[in-house]
């Protein structure tokens, strides 16, 4: 009996201990805000990392409670007011668009998952029987933009339903600069914080803004007598402009902010940003050397700063540099009749030009296959009468068909000249297509003087558009086989598209458009090499001096020479020969060795034709060809 009683006492004691442990565990779980879980599952409960905060607001204000949750989905969300479920309030934020007095109360949110429920802190919403003030941003307005260096003025006001217009002492202005980092937005930088004023201004700093999505945010906050506030703000975005950098001709290089780029090049910039533009020294493209001439718009110096406020195009204009002709000694021979006599008089008299008997132009002069193209750059206008024929061209090249390059550059003029060889006797028709104006001239023989205009493009046509204007096609012209006829095309380009093409129809109806090189040969003399260049030096010529020859525009038929560069010997001897090698002019003179440019007018009027000019400067020889029309 004693043993049974002792056993009952032990069992009762154990039961009391177990019940007490369960109560302690339950109380512990309730005190932690979590329900219905075991201690092992606590780490799997939703975790609130930002709690809702209590608010005191005026009626009609906008109010939002929100929480941040450590993402351990799936879970459900439910907001409660005074412990009662709020219908459809199942997101992380609880928003009141126009809060009323009846919305006063205590709010919390419960987040639940499979392991239990987590309850947020309780936040009190106190709605005062008072209307909030109203901030008014008068200037700047929505849509305003800024340029670098701009002065932006601001003006604001405020009023209160209970107290009327607010005093400026209740105003607080703030200006922030917002920009993006490599991945996300950077924290805004506060530029200005000021209070107690209705208006003011700020100046956009004169430094480069790398992020074209950056913006300024100007805000105005007003406060009423009860401490309620209202804030209005406006974002002022950068004025974006398009900068286009071009070269004429296209495809050359320029320097932008110290970096070499290939044109055409376009980029978006913020108006007013300083940029450094500069040309790139001599460049070679497609076998032609180009040298910088000027910037357009006209008036800009090289290596300059730009600060455009609108969409702008800058064009670096380059001109071809005639290469030194590799004239072989077997083309021309320069000899002294008496090399033992070193007197000045004998020196000048004894320099003669002897043409080599054999023809070295087997692919150019005697044979067909090419035609000569000359071009003048930086020539404005759209009509061929703007081409400065009286001046030496900027470049000359032989082309293999009667067609110039397409979209080469802007503001230039072209002359394509040579001889055409009809394959059969009969009536031929010619066409010309160009942009802008073009003219086609044909001689009744191989003489330049007998040329006549047979077709033209009044304004412009598309590339190889042969029938836009009736004037593009010539009348029927009878040509004889086994004869050559001088032919010439003039073309003036202004802006954008440019091209010139010439075609013909043979007596049997065959169309050759453009005319192939096998029907052509260039307008060139035996005194020239395959590349028509402005300077033909003899061996040993000083590279710093050269001769240019051009027709005097004020006196038709006369020639003017320009000696460019410094020389050590002032003695000059000028000889002019016709295409048969006959001397047409002989003069001895001197130049100023202290001058970098000497102008030498030739005191003779020449008949139309081609002439070779030989100039001896000291003991050096130069040659230049000129056509007098």
The pLDDT assigned to 328 comes to 29
The mean pLDDT value of the chain amounts to 78
Q: How confident is the model at residue 533 (pLDDT cuts 50, 70, 90)?
A: very low
Per-residue HEC secondary structure of 400-463 comes to CECECCCCCCCCEEEEEEEEECCCCCEEEEEEEEEECCEEEEEECCCCHHHEEEEEEECCECCC
Tens of pLDDT, residue by residue over 443-496, are 999 888 899 999 999 999 999 999 999 999 999 999 999 899 999 999 999 888
Q: How confident is the model at residue 511 (pLDDT cuts 50, 70, 90)?
A: very high
Least confident interval from 96-100, 111-115, 134-138, 179-183 = 179-183
Q: How confident is the model at residue 198 (pLDDT cuts 50, 70, 90)?
A: very high
Six-digit token string for 245: 């950098």
Domain encompassing residue 248: 240-320
Handedness of CA 418, 423, 429, 433 (dihedral sign): negative
Confirm whether 30 is domain-assigned.
no
> What whole-number distance in Å separates Cα of residue 160 and Cα of residue 166?
7
Confirm whether 503 is domain-assigned.
yes
Give the CATH number, domain containing residue 461.
Answer: 2.60.120.1560
The pLDDT assigned to 38 comes to 54
Has residue 167 got a pLDDT over 80?
yes
The pLDDT assigned to 389 comes to 75
The pLDDT assigned to 552 comes to 60
Contacts of 14 (CB under 8 A, 6+ apart): none
Do both 144 and 97 map to the same domain?
no
Domain boundary among 178, 208, 238: 238
Domain count, the chain: 5
CB distance 111 to 88 below 8 Å: no
Do both 165 and 251 map to the same domain?
no
Give the CATH number, domain containing residue 124.
Answer: 2.60.40.10
String of DSSP letters for 354-413: EE-SS---TTTTSS-S-EEEEEEES--SSSGGGS-TTS--SEEEEESBSBPPSS--SSEE
Q: How confident is the model at residue 520 (pLDDT cuts 50, 70, 90)?
A: very high
Q: What is the mean pLDDT of residues 60-68?
A: 90
Do both 398 and 446 map to the same domain?
yes
User: If you count them, how many residues does the chain have?
Assistant: 629
Which phi and psi (to 5°) does residue 153 adopt?
Answer: -95, 145
Instruction: Decide which of 562 and 505 is more confident.
Output: 505
Confirm whether 25 is domain-assigned.
no
Has residue 29 got a pLDDT over 50?
no
Residues of the chain with pLDDT > 90, as a percent, come to 35
Q: How confident is the model at residue 568 (pLDDT cuts 50, 70, 90)?
A: low
> What whole-number distance in Å separates Cα of residue 154 and Cα of residue 295?
40
Do both 414 and 496 map to the same domain?
yes
Confirm whether 263 is domain-assigned.
yes
Which phi and psi (to 5°) does residue 375 adopt?
Answer: -145, 145
Do both 474 and 393 map to the same domain?
yes
Domain boundary among 238, 267, 291: 238
The pLDDT assigned to 525 comes to 44
Q: How confident is the model at residue 437 (pLDDT cuts 50, 70, 90)?
A: very high
Report in angstroms the alpha-carbon separations of 572 from 345, 558, 600: 12, 19, 10
Do both 376 and 449 map to the same domain?
yes
Do both 582 and 610 map to the same domain?
yes
Q: What is the mean pLDDT of residues 255-271?
A: 90
Which of 490, 496, 491 lies closest to 410, judged by CA? 496
Tens of pLDDT, residue by residue over 118-127, are 999 999 999 9
Do both 500 and 403 map to the same domain?
yes
Has residue 534 got a pLDDT over 80?
no
Do both 123 and 149 map to the same domain?
no
| Number of alpha carbons in the 13 Å side-chain half-sphere of residue 5 | 2
Contacts of 343 (CB under 8 A, 6+ apart): none
The pLDDT assigned to 399 comes to 82
Q: How confident is the model at residue 182 (pLDDT cuts 50, 70, 90)?
A: low
Instruction: Decide which of 157 and 353 is more confident.
Output: 157
Do both 408 and 468 map to the same domain?
yes
Six-digit token string for 554: 């004020």
The pLDDT assigned to 417 comes to 92
Domain boundary among 71, 96, 128: 128
Give the CATH number, domain containing residue 234.
Answer: 2.60.40.640
Confirm whether 158 is domain-assigned.
yes
The pLDDT assigned to 321 comes to 67
3-state secondary structure of 175: strand
Confirm whether 8 is domain-assigned.
no
Give buried/exposed letters for 433-461 (b at 16+ CB in 10 A, else e).
bbbbbbbbbbbeeeebeebeebbbbeebb
Has residue 13 got a pLDDT over 60?
no
The pLDDT assigned to 12 comes to 55
Residues of the chain with pLDDT > 70, as a percent, come to 75
Tens of pLDDT, residue by residue over 66-104, are 999 887 678 899 999 999 999 999 999 999 988 899 999
Which of 414, 402, 391, 371 lies closest to 249, judged by CA? 414
Q: What is the mean pLDDT of residues 179-199?
A: 83
Do both 536 and 516 map to the same domain?
no
Q: What is the mean pLDDT of residues 155-183?
A: 87
Q: What is the mean pLDDT of residues 250-268?
A: 90
> What whole-number distance in Å separates Cα of residue 574 and Cα of residue 348?
9
Of these ranges, 25-29, 196-200, 248-252, 601-605, the one predicted with the greatest mean pLDDT is 196-200
Q: What is the mean pLDDT of residues 405-417?
A: 87
The pLDDT assigned to 325 comes to 32
Q: How confident is the model at residue 323 (pLDDT cuts 50, 70, 90)?
A: very low
3-state secondary structure of 329: coil
Has residue 211 got a pLDDT over 80?
no
Has residue 542 got a pLDDT over 50?
no
The pLDDT assigned to 217 comes to 93
Q: How confident is the model at residue 583 (pLDDT cuts 50, 70, 90)?
A: confident
3-state secondary structure of 101: helix
Tens of pLDDT, residue by residue over 324-375, are 333 322 333 333 333 334 443 333 333 233 222 222 333 333 447 888 888 8
Confirm whether 327 is domain-assigned.
no
Confirm whether 7 is domain-assigned.
no
Instruction: Decide which of 549 and 229 is more confident.
Output: 229
- The H-assigned helical ranges of 283-372 are 344-350
Residue 35 CA from chain centroid, whole number: 67
The pLDDT assigned to 317 comes to 85
Which of 304, 322, 356 lies closest to 549, judged by CA? 322
Of these ranges, 5-19, 81-95, 179-193, 545-559, the one predicted with the greatest mean pLDDT is 81-95
Do both 384 and 514 map to the same domain?
yes
Q: What is the mean pLDDT of residues 195-204?
A: 91
The pLDDT assigned to 594 comes to 53
């Amino acid at each position: 009996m004693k043993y049974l009683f002792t056993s009952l006492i032990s069992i009762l004691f154990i039961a009391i201990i177990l019940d007490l442990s369960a109560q302690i565990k339950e109380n512990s779980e309730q005190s932690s805000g979590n329900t219905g879980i075991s201690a092992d599952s606590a780490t799997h409960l939703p975790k609130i990392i930002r709690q809702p905060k209590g608010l005191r607001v005026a009626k009609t204000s906008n109010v939002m409670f929100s929480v941040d949750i450590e993402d351990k989905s799936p879970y459900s969300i439910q907001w409660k007011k005074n412990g009662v479920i709020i219908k459809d309030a199942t997101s992380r934020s609880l928003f009141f668009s126009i809060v009323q007095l009846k919305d006063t109360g205590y709010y919390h949110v419960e987040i639940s998952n499979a392991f239990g429920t987590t309850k947020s802190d309780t936040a009190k919403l106190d709605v005062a029987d008072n209307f909030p003030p109203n901030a008014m941003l008068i200037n700047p307005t929505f849509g305003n933009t800024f340029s670098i260096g701009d002065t932006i003025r601001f003006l604001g006001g405020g009023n209160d339903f209970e107290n009327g217009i607010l005093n400026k002492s209740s105003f607080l202005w703030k200006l922030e600069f917002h920009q993006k980092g490599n991945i996300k937005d950077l924290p805004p930088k506060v530029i200005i914080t000021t209070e107690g004023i209705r208006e003011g201004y700020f100046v956009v700093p004169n430094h480069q803004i790398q992020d074209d999505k950056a913006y300024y945010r100007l805000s105005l906050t007003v406060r009423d007598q009860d401490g309620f506030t209202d804030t209005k703000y406006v974002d002022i975005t950068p004025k974006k402009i398009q900068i286009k950098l071009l070269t004429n001709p296209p495809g050359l290089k320029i320097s932008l902010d110290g970096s070499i780029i290939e044109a055409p090049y376009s980029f978006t910039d913020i108006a007013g940003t300083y940029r450094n533009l500069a040309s790139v020294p001599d460049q070679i493209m497609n076998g032609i050397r180009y040298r910088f001439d000027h910037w357009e718009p006209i008036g800009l110096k090289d290596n300059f700063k730009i600060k455009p406020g609108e969409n702008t195009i800058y064009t670096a204009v380059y001109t071809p540099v005639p290469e030194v002709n590799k004239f072989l000694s077997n083309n021309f021979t320069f000899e002294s009749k008496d090399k033992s006599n070193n007197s000045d008089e004998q020196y000048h008299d004894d320099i003669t030009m002897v043409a080599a008997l054999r023809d070295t132009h087997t692919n150019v002069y005697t044979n067909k296959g090419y035609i000569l193209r000359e071009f003048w750059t930086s020539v404005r206008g759209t009509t061929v009468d703007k081409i400065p024929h009286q001046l030496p061209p900027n470049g000359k090249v032989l082309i293999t068909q009667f067609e110039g390059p397409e979209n080469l550059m802007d503001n230039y003029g072209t002359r394509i000249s040579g001889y055409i060889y009809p394959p059969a006797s009969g009536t031929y028709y010619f066409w010309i297509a160009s942009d802008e104006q073009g003219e086609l001239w044909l001689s009744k023989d191989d003489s330049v003087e007998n040329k006549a205009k047979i077709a033209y493009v009044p304004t412009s046509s598309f590339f190889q558009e042969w029938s836009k204007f009736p004037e593009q096609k010539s009348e029927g012209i009878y040509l004889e086989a086994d004869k050559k006829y001088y032919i010439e095309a003039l073309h003036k380009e202004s802006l954008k598209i440019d091209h010139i093409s010439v075609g013909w129809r043979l007596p049997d109806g065959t169309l050759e458009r453009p005319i192939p090189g096998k029907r052509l040969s260039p307008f060139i003399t035996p005194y020239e090499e395959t590349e028509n260049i402005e300077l033909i030096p003899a061996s040993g010529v000083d590279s710093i001096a050269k001769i240019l020859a051009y027709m005097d525009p004020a006196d038709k038929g006369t020639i003017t020479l320009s000696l460019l560069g410094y020389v050590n010997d002032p003695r000059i001897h000028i000889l002019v020969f016709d295409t048969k090698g006959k001397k047409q002019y002989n003069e001895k003179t001197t130049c100023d060795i202290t001058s970098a440019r000497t102008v030498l007018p030739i005191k003779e009027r020449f008949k139309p034709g081609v002439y070779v000019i030989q100039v001896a400067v000291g003991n050096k020889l130069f040659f230049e060809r000129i056509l007098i029309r």
